[in-house]
Chain A
């Protein structure tokens, strides 16, 4: 079945450092891909999404490109802030999963001043 694999955390960075959180997926067909963020004590917020190959999703300085050839959707940000400290979830949805969201295990990011 469909699945999502994320790099394990926690990821600890200094403010203004470059961020990459790796995400790869296994799916039949052409799923949509998502990054969600969960700030401490809060629910999930959609950060960005991409619905087809080579699409780039972007929001709040974060970017991710849908790479079908490498089945990846890595999250990047050029300069992280302390306020970016949160748990980041990669997810997919598609016809094979009956359009249910399938989540990766989540990656905790801690940004130090």
Chain B
């Protein structure tokens, strides 16, 4: 499976600011996903990022808060906007490639908002 890298690995941010998280895959993949993992919790899907179209957001997540870009088949970004302490979580990107029945995850971005 393709290698997926995510950065930054962690950050501490001031409330009211924004952070952009980058996810790079070393080969072309069809679908990429962004997840949030709140402290001690499971993973919740934020949105599906498809190249050439707008991201599809899950219930409870909106584009103004979590804008996503997918400029090509190997790269995506997630921005966490106007952050508050409640946004402190691990954010993970993932991809599903053609013929791959196991989704691969990036190492995650541990975000702390103070």
A45 to B103, CA, bound (A): 9
Q: Across chains A and B, which 5 residue pairs bring their CB atoms closest together, nearest first?
A: A43-B107, A44-B105, A43-B108, A46-B102, A103-B42
* Docked complex Cα distance between A46 and B97 (Å): 14
Assuming the contacts A100-B45, A105-B42, A106-B42, asked whether A49 and B31 have C-beta atoms less than 8 A apart, the reply is no
* Beyond known contacts A43-B107, A49-B102: 12 more, CB 8 A cutoff: A44-B43, A44-B92, A44-B105, A46-B102, A46-B103, A49-B101, A89-B43, A99-B96, A101-B33, A101-B45, A103-B43, A104-B42
B15: shortest Cβ distance to chain A, in Å?
A: 24
**8 Å CB contacts to B: which residues of A81-113?**
89, 93, 98-101, 103-106
A-B contacts, 7 listed (Cβ < 8 Å) = A34-B102, A43-B92, A49-B101, A100-B45, A101-B43, A101-B45, A104-B42
Q: In the complex, which residue of chain A has the Cβ closest to the Cβ of B48?
A: A100
Task: Give the total number of A-B pairs whose CB atoms are below 8 A apart.
Answer: 45
Interface of B, secondary structure class, is: strand
The distance from the CB of A5 to the nearest CB of chain B, in whole angstroms, is 11
By a CB distance below 8 angstroms, the chain B residues around A105 are 41-42
Chain A: minimal CB distance from B49 (Å): 12
A43–B31 CB distance below 8 A: no
Chain A residues in 8 Å Cβ range of B43: 44, 89, 101, 103
Interface set, chain B 64-114, CB cutoff 8 A to A: 92, 94, 96, 101-108
Q: Which of B33, B102, B108 has the most CB of A within 10 A?
A: B102
Residues of A within 8 A of B41 (CB): 105-106
Complex contacts, B103 vs chain A, CB 8 Å: 34, 46, 93, 101
